[in-house]
Amino acid sequence: MTQRRFFRSIASVNGQLLAVSMLALLPLAGCGDNDVEAKVTATNEIVEQTRAGTKAAEGITVDNRDERATSLEGLASKTAQIGGTNDQKAAAGILAAEMAATAGSLLTAELRDLEIKASKERGLIAAAADAAATLEAVAEADAKLSLGADREFLKRAREGAEGSLKTLQSKIKELETPIGDLRKNVESRRAKLVELQQKADALRRQANDAGASAGFQYVEQSADVKMNAAQLRATIAGDELNLFELEPELNRANVALTGAQSVVSAADTATQALENFSTELTTNAKKLTEAAESLRAATQTALDALNAEVDGPMAETFDKASALFEMAARNASRGGAGREFAEAGAQAKLDAEANLATLGANRVSTLNAQIALLEQLAASGSLFGGEAKQKPAIEALTTKRDEALTQTKERFAALLETLNGMDAEKTSVARMKTSVESMIAALEGKALPSSSAATTSGATAPTAGASASTAAVNPVGAGFATQQELVDAYVGSGPDILKSLKAARTGFAFSSPEYAALFTTSVTVVDGLVPIITAIDAKFGPGSATTAFAQMGGNMADAASEKYEFVERNGKPFLKATSMKGTFDLPIVNSNGRFYVQGDPMFASVPPDQLAMAQAMAPMMSAMRDQMKTAFAPVVQAIESGQITSLDEVGPAMQKALGALGAGGAFGQPRK
């Protein structure tokens, strides 16, 4: 629930309320003064609460959102007590639900910020733990150093660190551009959202001014505008989700860069010590041991603070947000005599339950990340006490995680129950129901990671050499008859996105069905781009679609930037895949006489709980594919008819089409 949506919601409730209240105030035979007075009182109270809610939702900032959430919660409680007619009670209930949901959304935003901060801290703690372990190992090595062999060792360590520095600097540069583009997109689309809100408000005022009958057309127009706004919000949410995914990756890269720089510096210091006095080795080893212990203590302090944050403010904020969404769901269910109130209440209840379920899933993810961090520390040897010391904390977190998982399953079940009570013949309802059922199945099955230390360490994906021996047992296509055919298909795809897609569908294979499912889910959305890619290349020449997509930035630019190069590592064949998301050495393998590209390194940094959701996401990705085809259809027609005459016009037209694209919410929620 956003501030803008709250304004739209209370405007809608207010419009229905005015119509109901005007009828209620007509002199009716058999109605006493007390009845009329009660209706007038209810009307005045709802109008007063609406104004108060509007004021509380204005000018919300990071600094005052807690205070505003508290104010809105109080207003929601008071509004829920308003009496009057059934429709007035229903209107008050919906208004109270929207107030509570807005307050819950403010706390959800706070929880999101806390989780972003916690995610950064996990990366720093993991990096510090790695550094401490490295220092301890170097200290032990220094104590045993013989100058000849150890001088060569330090030289190789420094060269390796310098290589890492170059790779990380390149990765950081590649990440900064899409992140900047996403931020610009979010800013411009938020501005558009404000325009749509103003338009919806204007139509609502026209409806109020015209009266119940004549104003119905304005109500319908307002509903269309609100739907467009909802679609735009979904696009913004998608951009913010991409930012949420990319920014931690950039932070991890910066942390790793600092670590690599530290290794270079430490190697230089150690080398100088070796060159000057061998007797200094013992002193140096002692200093390194002290540094490792100091870093270990600092890491433990940071971990204790992070645990306190997760158990304290984050857990409290989660509980408060959950309680507010539960309040919203209760108040939205009060019902009323009018169909519009019933539909509005049902939608508000559905939104609240979807928010509850999503909130619970995020809590499970947070606890999984904490468990993974402790598992990494447990595996780092004696420096952090090993498994014996970390086991009690891991078990305690696992218990909390399992409790959160159980609660999340119950919330998804409640959401499914609400959907079962809606019109099952509506495509949007059926699609959302399928998605929720898939999510429930995933939570029941593979949502819990057994170990995921790599997800918090900030480490880069494993090198191809480490996974080259893994057999490709889960191909997504038929493969190629020879290695040369495979290389020609990938390297020859060049800037042609359709050729690249064809090669990927034919030649990729993975070591697990989960990786294969994630790949299939990822490329499903790309299928929605085939008509417009074909139209662009046919009109402006091969490779033109790549240029248009690169101009758009974000994921589009990443898809356009992908290229392959054949390389050999220690006599083994690889495809070097490069895009804005990074560079990966992908082994070329032979399975059952067919040649494939082993794609595991591309997904090595994906957390296990997200990996397990890949199959559950398939219905939503299919829906997004279909919606992208529909959204881009007018652009395709404009290109083919000659209305678009230059390639420079294509990017803005596609951006405009994407701006109108919406998937109906996080779970494909039905549109009103």
> DSSP of 130-189, one letter per residue?
HHHHHHHHHHHHHHT--HHHHHHHHHHHHHHHHHHHHHHHHHHHHHHHHHHHHHHHHHHH
Angle between helices 650-659 and 614-641 (to 10 degrees): 130
In sequence order, the 6+-apart residues with CB closer than 8 A to the CB of 510 are 472, 474, 476, 516, 519, 598, 599, 600, 603
**Neighbouring C-beta atoms of residue 647, cutoff 10 Å:** 17
Which tokens in the block code for residue 623?
């829906």
Tens digits of per-residue pLDDT, 640-651? 998 888 888 887
Residue 607 and residue 252 in contact, taking contact as beta carbons nearer than 8 Å? no
Residue pair 200/222 in contact (Cβ under 8 Å)? The answer is yes
Distances from the Cα of 162 to the Cαs of 159, 169, 269, 459, in angstroms? 5, 11, 15, 16
Question: Which positions ≥6 away from 42 have C-beta within 8 Å?
Answer: 21, 82, 83, 84, 85, 88, 89, 92
Who's near 529: CB < 8 A, 6+ residues apart?
497, 628, 632
- Reading across the β-sheet that carries 474-475, which strands appear in turn? 474-475, 508-510, 594-598, 582-591, 572-579, 563-569
Residue 588 bridge partners (DSSP): 597
**Residues of the chain whose pLDDT is less than 50?**
1-32, 277, 446-472, 554-555, 557, 609, 662-672
Cα 499 from chain centroid (whole Å): 29
- pLDDT tens-place string over residues 44-79: 888 888 888 888 877 777 788 888 888 898 888 888
CB 540 within 8 A of CB 638: no
Q: How confident is the model at residue 193, as a pLDDT? A: 78
Helix (H, G, I), strand (E, B) or coil at 314: helix
Q: What are phi and psi of 318, to 5 degrees?
A: -60, -45
Tokens representing 443? 């939570």
Calculate the CA 576 to chain-centre distance. Answer: 28
pLDDT of residue 485: 92
Helices and strands, number each (H, E), in the chain = 22, 6
Specify the pLDDT at position 602.
Answer: 76
Residues in contact with 5: Cβ distance below 8 Å, sequence separation at least 6, in sequence order: 98, 102, 229, 233
pLDDT at 211: 75
Are 331 and 93 in contact, with CB atoms under 8 Å apart? Answer: yes
Place of tokens 């020859």: 492
* Structure token pair of residue 608: 């296990």
What tokens does 645 get?
């005459």
Query: What is the value of pTM for the model shown?
Result: 0.47
353's tokens: 């339950």
Strands (E), 396-484: 474-475
Question: Residue 302, SS3?
Answer: helix
Contact between residue 547 and residue 569 where contact means Cβ atoms under 8 Å apart: no
Helices (H), 277-385: 280-309, 315-332, 339-378
Q: Is 336 helix (H, G, I), strand (E, B) or coil?
A: coil
Supply the pLDDT for residue 320.
Answer: 92
Residues with Cβ within 8 Å of 280's Cβ and at least 6 positions away in sequence, in order, are 273
**Count of other CB atoms within 10 angstroms of residue 36:** 15
**Spatial separation of the C-alpha atoms in residues 439 and 255, rounded to whole Å:** 34
The residues, ordered by sequence, that sit 6+ positions from 656 with a Cβ below 8 Å of its Cβ are: none
Q: Are 610 and 593 in contact (CB under 8 A)?
A: no
Question: Could you tell me the sign of the dihedral formed by the alpha carbons of 660, 661, 663, 666, in that order?
Answer: negative
Which amino acid is present at 178?
P
- Residues 66/115, Cβ–Cβ less than 8 Å: no
- Which two tokens mark 272? 């100088």
The closest alpha carbon to 324, from 342, 351, 346, belongs to 351
3-state secondary structure at position 453: coil
What does the chain come to in residues? 672
